[in-house]
Amino acid sequence: MSEKELAKKIIELVGGESNIVSVRHCATRLRIVVSDKEKIQTKDVEALDKVKGSFFNSGQYQIILGTGLVNRVYDEVIKITGDEGEAPASDKKKETVVYGNKFQRAVRMFSDVFVPIIPVLVATGLFMGLRGLLTQEAVLAVFGLTPENVSQTLLTFTQILTDTAFAFLPALVCWSTFRNFGGSPVIGIVLGLMLVSPSLPNAYAVGAGEADPLVFFGFLKVTGYQGSVLPAFVTGILAAKFEKWLRRHVPDAIDLIVTPFVTLLVGSILAIFGIGPLLHSLEAIILKVVETIIFLPMGIGGFLYGCFGQLLGIFGIHHVLNFLEISMLAQDGWNYLNPIGTCGNMAQAGAVLAVAIKAVSNKTKQVAYPSCLSAMLGITEPAVFGVNLKFVKPFIMSMIGGGVGGFLASIFHLRATGMSITGIPGTLLYLNEQLPLYILVNVVSFAVAFALTWSIGFNKKMEQQ
């Protein structure tokens, strides 16, 4: 059966063109939103040649086709339906059926934006973990080397591998958001790149006290958005909707000139002078709160930050904590935040591993297993956005696991000799009498999150909601 024939058959078995609201695809699945899911002939779809399975999840009928094939079948489907994936519902004037409550829809919307970019985040996580291990003095000493022996050219190459995806994360998020909300993806890419323009002070440099934000109108502080998620996400939604509105009102003769120009102008102004400063003010408040919390007595601070500190990564404002870590290291040579924060990463790994083992969907397993390894190496975005936050309960279980580990880290008075690496690579910051305790708190965090997710945090029905 050719891809064209398969596409025609799939459209027929999901209720025909009239039943299709929108069509998307990810790495392995064709994802179709339908008006009436009762019209889907599931058994007949799964019996089709080259179809590896199907399921209904988060309001979408998802057909597993595999990498490569899914792209070709998707192309044939949109040739028939005329749905290019950018503005299906509004352009075709179909009545969209909404599945799930508002919170479930919000989580699904967030997850849909991140699914396309998870592979590069996983790969980057592995690169960062390996670079962190191979460039530490303890590892180099095994080969009779010191940091001075490592070629600067080689270090530059490794930085290209480890820094690119996160340096331009806003561009990836904005592109995917535009794509999901009916805007032009290429405008999303450019708008996202504007958020990390070299003309803006680097967010990490500002957080570390190495650079000052730009000040507009005497009071408005502006920085770049390196590593940020929320500004690009919110900007992407508003700018995509604004672009769609423009296309309905701008005459066709000048649409090519006016719409991109006005969309980028309004979107950049909104992000740089509205959303950005608002989040900057929020970051300053968070910095003071975290600094107060982590030193609360009897392990309370460790539990609270180990549990709720994981929420900072979701909103992309965690980089502000670099300033706090550098300040600690400058004062007495110790980093008290790292051992608590790493417990949250290991808890995410434990929760996502439990999901990977229990999941029925091959797609969930394909995302969850590598996300576990990535989280253990210090990069939790794939685990959080690709799996745990998507199903909600696993994320809650990881918060609990991180809280328990953070409590123990605080009780044991763990403190790192550096910063920027956690999880397995972070072991190199505790090559002293603390090492057994560091390993213990990480194992406990992982085990608690795994056990809770396995027992009460995830079940097969959650994949079908």
Q: What is the Cα–Cα distance from 303 to 450, expressed in whole angstroms?
A: 18
Q: What is the Cα–Cα distance from 363 to 60, expressed in whole angstroms?
A: 14
Q: Which amino acid is at 52?
A: K
String of DSSP letters for 137-171: HHHHHHTT--GGGS-HHHHHHHHHHHHHHHHTHHH
Work out the widest C-alpha separation in the chain, in whole angstroms.
72
* Of 31, 15, 58, the residue nearest 392 (C-alpha): 58
* Of 11, 15, 9, 76, the residue nearest 49 (C-alpha): 9
- Quick check: 40 and 13 in contact, CB under 8 A? yes
Burial 189-219 (b: 16+ CB within 10 A, else e): bbbbebbbeeebbbbbbbbbeebebeeeeee
Give Cα 285 to chain centroid, integer Å: 23
Q: Of the listed 26, 174, 343, 372, which one is catalytic?
A: 26
Q: Is the dihedral of CA 227, 404, 360, 389 positive or negative?
A: negative
Burial 249-286 (b: 16+ CB within 10 A, else e): eeeeeeeeeebbeebbebbbebbbeebbbebbeebeeb
**266: its two tokens:** 């309004």
3-state helix, strand, coil split of the chain in percent (to 5) is 70, 5, 25
Q: What is the Cα–Cα distance from 104 to 92, expressed in whole angstroms?
A: 25
**201: its two tokens:** 């002070």
In angstroms, what is the C-alpha Rg of the chain? Answer: 23
- Quick check: 441 and 423 in contact, CB under 8 A? no
Q: Tell me if residue 199 falls in helix, strand or coil.
A: coil
Q: Match 């945090």 to its residue by tokens.
A: 457
Note if 343 is an active site residue.
no
Q: Which residues carry out catalysis?
A: 26
